[in-house]
Amino acid sequence: MDYAATILSHLPQIRRGTGFKALLAKLEYLPPAQLDVIVEAYEFGSLAHEGQRRYSGELYITHPVAVAGILADLHLDYQSIAAAIMHDVLEDTPMAKEHIEEKFGPEIAAIVDGVSKLDQLSFNSRAEAQVESFRKMMLAMVEDIRVILLKLADRLHNMQTLDALPLDKQRRIARETLEIYAPIANRLGVYSLKTELEDYGFRFRHPYRYRVLDKAVRRAQGNQRQILRKISERLKRALGKAGIDGTVTGRQKHLYSIYRKMLEKHRSLSEIADVFGFRLIMPTADDCYRALGMVHQLYKPMPGRFKDFIAIPRVNGYESLHTTLLGPNGIPIEVQIRTEEMNKVAESGIAAHWQYKATDKEVIPPQVRAREWLASINEMQSAANSEEFMEHVKVDLFPDNVYVFTPKGAILRLPRGATCIDFAYAVHTDVGNRCVAAKIDRRLVPLRTLIKNGQTVEIITAKTAHPDPRWVGFVATAKARYSIRQYLKTLQAGAARDLGRRLLNQSLRDAGSSLRKVSRARMTAALGELGLANTTELFEQLGLGERLAPLVTKVLMQDASVRVDEGSQPTPIVIAGTESLVVSYARCCHPIPGDTVMGYLSAGRGVVVHRNVCGNLSEFRKQPEKWVSVNWEQDIEREFSVEILVEVINRPGVLAELAARIADIESNIEQVSVDERLEDFAELRFLILVRDRVHLAKVIRRIRSMPVVQKISRTCA
């Protein structure tokens, strides 16, 4: 460290005491030329933050230096350390990205920019700004994993100094840390950062619970210290007798992990099995399995508590053998057995043996896992908005618990609660979009069946199949949910364009024209006036109700006074019942084929069809320009929901009799409820499926003929 000491002696005296000396001591793994860059970054950051102080009163530069120190503990490269020292320059000073790029190069500038917040943009709310900032950070991480490592270190130091902030900010930041940043650290396998983030988050999110649990754990640790020392010595002697050159260390579970286990399993602290445990570090993987047999001979293993993460590593690259033993006096003890290499990966994850952009070196497992995850995030960046993007990423942040096999024997890792559909999308998006059935261990099962560890799953596909909107309600992975939504959005856009074309053509015909009669030049000019790129965009907005056809007609006809003759009737749109993505049927009146209906243009939903006798029409009639004349197509082959109210004599079995009558007439019951029940009478409300008014009339006649039925009517708002 002579070189570092020389550099320090030449730095301005005023900047001593910022932690930079301690940082240099940690950077002995870097060559002198790279230390020079870090010194320049320190001088640049100190100058940029001159006069700024933190809430605690310290010089602001102490924060970025401390963040750089956390990354130095992980032995990251010099670009990461330099970027850490300057990571708040773009956000909190007048410096621009170009200044950093000019002095330090595009790579360091890109890392600094990726971790900076989006203060220069305007948002409707603080929440929106935070979500958009998170989106930018995640997408920057796709390009360079060091962005998120820097952000995690930044968050950790902020948590370490959170006492200086008001209580409401402490709670908000702690919650965000537990929900987003700690899971990201876990997903990347950086266990050292993950545990600290969780414990600090727990401390500030639930301060009272933290103090009580901390006190109880310390007391328990004191009581069990002697027992644990004896167990440790016995394990060491057994390893020596077996000729295994391994080390044994005691391990205490961190507080947040204990708290989560107590919460999830509804147990007290005394019932949590592995508050204390041991870690055995072996020379080779073969020695790990030998040591496992040795500890199982010393103490009886608890059934169902053995996990082999060496044969099947976790999604973040974590490898280890886990077993829980029944120790002296019935004390459960958790033992983790791994090699030194596995231990480094377990502590540092993606940061272990840093090989950024390695091409000629062997890539460590966490890097492979991280790149796979980042590739899936990259697929999601076309999400409609930042909230949707954040939802997808949050779903994907939690660790995998289920390992299943493909028919060819390949292993897929899926989160707990994953279904066959999640498996299909994990294989490939096209497989998910075309799946029609699934087999688990060669037996046909429904697609929504939950997958369990060790099962073999086979997906059956069909070329004509497509995703069902209901799948979104039960899939567990972000990729499956995102892929289904994207497919449905594409379908909706196509249906909206078709409806929009029909709406505009109808409006033009009512004005004595048609789309065929509108010249290309006039259409281009109208699109320019409306601020649209092409007719596709215009038709889509019309179909979704975001623009009104009569107003577009006025622009196309170049006459704001265009009106339909008072005596003429608007040409109705014909609906076939198949336009479900852009044509919906009002739940207040449940229109069915044969009813006299009107359509109401609702922004984002398209046309909502109501019966003419619907009570809600009085409110909608205040906006006549949003009404669309609609007619039913002949011979519609689908079923529609309709609601009927039945007053019956209250006696046992009456509901079963009614259900049987409804089924006899080829109608299904979607929902049933009891509106009012008196001693002698009851009012039952049925939501049933019918084809049209004729079918409904048959159902009503069949029910009315029952002696127990006093009155039956169709409901309407």
Q: Smallest Cα–Cα separation from 63: which of 37, 87, 39?
A: 87
Q: Give the dihedral sign, CA 488/483/403/434.
A: positive
Q: Residue 98 is encoded by which pair of tokens? A: 């170009």
Which of the residues 91, 214, 468, 683 is marked catalytic? 91
Pairing between strand 627-632 and 573-575?
Answer: parallel
The type of residue at 606 is G
- Catalytic residue check, 529: no
Q: Which residues sit opposite 632 in a β-bridge?
A: 575
Q: State the Cα–Cα distance between residues 324 and 322, nearest whole angstrom.
A: 7
**DSSP H helices in 177-254:** 182-187, 191-205, 207-241
- The position carrying tokens 């640049």 is 44
Give the strands of the sheet with 583-585, arranged side by side: 573-575, 627-632, 597-602, 606-611, 583-585
Q: State the Cα–Cα distance between residues 332 and 325, nearest whole angstrom.
A: 6
Neighbours of 38 (CB within 10 A): 24
Q: State the Cα–Cα distance between residues 503 and 542, nearest whole angstrom.
A: 7
Determine contact, residues 309/322, Cβ cutoff 8 Å. Answer: yes
Q: What is the DSSP string of 377-441?
A: HHHGGG-SSHHHHHHHHHHT-SPP-EEEE-TTS-EEEE-TT-BHHHHHHHH-HHHHHTEEEEEET
Q: What is the DSSP string of 14-62?
A: GGTTSSHHHHHHHTTTS-HHHHHHHHHHHHHHHHHTTT-B-TTSSBTTH
3-state secondary structure of 473: helix
Q: Residue 402 is encoded by which pair of tokens? A: 């289920």
Q: Residue 339 is encoded by which pair of tokens? A: 């090699």
- Catalytic residue check, 92: yes
Q: State the Cα–Cα distance between residues 371 and 188, nearest whole angstrom.
A: 10
Which of the residues 92, 107, 341, 388 is marked catalytic? 92
The helix or strand, by DSSP H or E, that contains position 583, with its residue range, turns out to be strand 583-585
DSSP-assigned letter for residue 15:
G
Neighbours of 674 (CB within 10 A): 11
3-state secondary structure of 9: helix
Neighbours of 566 (CB within 10 A): 5
3-state secondary structure of 711: strand
Q: Which residues sit opposite 252 in a β-bridge?
A: 276
Q: State the Cα–Cα distance between residues 97 and 425, nearest whole angstrom.
A: 39
Determine contact, residues 208/425, Cβ cutoff 8 Å. Answer: no
Q: Which residues sit opposite 437 in a β-bridge?
A: 460
Q: What contacts 295, CB < 8 A, 6 or more positions away?
A: 235, 238, 280, 323, 325, 335, 337
Q: Which residues sit opposite 574 in a β-bridge?
A: 631
Q: Which residues are catalytic?
A: 91-92
